[in-house]
Amino acid sequence: MASKQSKFNYSKCEPTYRKAAKDRLQEFWDVFEKEDQVLVCINADPDSLACALAIKRLLRYRCKSVTIAHPNEISRINNVTMVERLKIPLEKMRNVKADEFHKKIIVDSQPGHHPSFEKIAFDVIIDHHPVSGQWEAKYIDIRPDYGAASTMLVEYLRAAKLKPSVALATALFYAIKVDTQNFEMSGTPADGISFKYLFDIANKSLVRKFEMADLRRSELKYFTVALNELKYSKGRYFTHVGKVRSPDLLVVVADFLNHVGEIGWVFVSGIYNEKLVVIFRCDGYRKNAGKLASKIFGQLGSAGGHKESARAEVPLKNLEPTDKEFSSDMLKRLIMRHI
């Protein structure tokens, strides 16, 4: 029998932590009946994709069908590669009618995170982001201190004594790596335990392929431009790539140049959607990329970031007329005034 509708707020979060994994699993399973058609809604990224696959496994013999739907475009080549290699079955939100499903789940997100989710009455909410509202659902498990929602789903699988397939373990393993940034930016002991459990099951060569798949073949030309335009001064690289199809390409070029041992700073710029985008990279030792980005571009557009990495986006209309025809030399002169 399905559990009663319950309202969630942050003050009710603590008791969820005290529950045993088996109790949480049973409460989750109690929401569903054999003939249910279930819709799993995600804002597609590695963590949510892995979680949706895990939910599909948990419900395989407990309901009639599970459909995974997402409202966002999957454009990052890493994520496209993950979906293609693991053959993750997905539907666009615009192509499904939520009212036709008996039960609805949202995972690695909350109803207020996307307009497509706001009008759906979810039966289950599972997430690791900070609580952003008071949600009503039959079952809610939100743990903001967890580095990845995939960690939570590994706990569900282990409580159910369901060993994940290689494909599922690979997805969950990669998701935890991505959301914890290889445990450099976030992560809890629970994330480490789940990561260790998956280590011997996941295909780590495939994970490496996801991580390395930053470029399409047609995008290699940007490296040619970046290297041809490369300027060097006092342990610093500067290059302007021109118009790009995605700012992600600038990030890939900057990370590549940052591998050069004797280089302390990397600055890569390009034009995207009538904006000048500048990527900053450094080692973070006695340097602060975020502060430098804000100092140079904060008055012209959005700028900031971490000690090791930062980004600035400036509408072209905010630049001086002489700066609109941007070049590597101009990027160098602009930054050298402030560094």
Domain CATH for 306: 3.10.310.40
| Residue 292 counted as domain residue | yes
Q: Give me the amino acid identity at 320.
A: E
In this structure, what DSSP letter does residue 131 have? P
Domain identity same for 79 and 228: no
Is residue 38 classed exposed, middle or buried when 0-12, 13-18 and 19+ CB atoms within 10 A define those classes?
buried
Q: What is the pLDDT of residue 8?
A: 47
Domain identity same for 206 and 228: no
Q: What is the pLDDT of residue 334?
A: 86
Domain identity same for 329 and 224: yes
34: its two tokens? 């054999």
State the alpha helices, DSSP H only, in the chain: 13-18, 21-30, 46-58, 77-86, 115-118, 149-159, 166-179, 189-199, 204-212, 221-228, 248-257, 289-297, 328-336
Question: How far apart are alpha carbons 56 and 148 in whole angstroms?
Answer: 18
Domain identity same for 222 and 208: no
Q: What is the pLDDT of residue 261?
A: 84
Give the β-pairing of 37-41 and 65-70: parallel
Q: What is the pLDDT of residue 339?
A: 79
Residue 22's CB: how many other CB atoms inside 10 A? 13
Domain identity same for 76 and 100: yes
Domain identity same for 203 and 249: no
Question: How far apart are alpha carbons 225 and 62 in whole angstroms?
Answer: 54
Q: Indicate the residue among 212, 247, 263 that finishes a domain.
A: 212
Q: What is the pLDDT of residue 1?
A: 37
| Residue 87 counted as domain residue | yes
Domain identity same for 190 and 223: no
The per-residue pLDDT for range 148-169, each reduced to its tens digit, is 999 999 999 999 999 999 999 9
| Residue 205 counted as domain residue | yes
- CATH number of residue 87's parent domain: 3.90.1640.10
Domain identity same for 195 and 231: no
Domain identity same for 79 and 32: yes
The sheet with strand 275-282 has its strands ordered as 231-233, 236-243, 265-272, 275-282, 309-315, 302-305
| Residue 1 counted as domain residue | no
Question: How far apart are alpha carbons 80 and 48 in whole angstroms?
Answer: 14
Domain identity same for 166 and 82: yes
Q: Which residues of the chain have pLDDT under 50?
A: 1-4, 6, 8-15
Domain identity same for 186 and 307: no
Say how many domains are in the chain.
2
Q: What is the pLDDT of residue 162?
A: 97
| Residue 293 counted as domain residue | yes
Task: With beta carbons less than 8 A apart as the criterion, state whether 174 and 50 touch.
Answer: yes
For residue 67, which of 91, 43, 94, 103 has the smallest C-alpha distance? 91
Q: Indicate the residue among 212, 233, 266 that finishes a domain.
A: 212
Q: Indicate the residue among 195, 212, 229 that finishes a domain.
A: 212
| Residue 176 counted as domain residue | yes
Q: What is the pLDDT of residue 87?
A: 96
| Residue 325 counted as domain residue | yes
16: its two tokens? 């969820």
Task: With beta carbons less than 8 A apart as the criterion, state whether 128 and 142 touch.
Answer: yes
pTM of the model: 0.72
Question: How far apart are alpha carbons 152 and 140 in whole angstroms?
Answer: 12
Domain identity same for 143 and 83: yes
Question: What range defines the domain where residue 227 resides?
Answer: 217-336
| Residue 326 counted as domain residue | yes
Q: Which residues contact 109 (CB under 8 A, 6 or more apart)?
A: 41, 42, 43, 48, 117, 127, 129
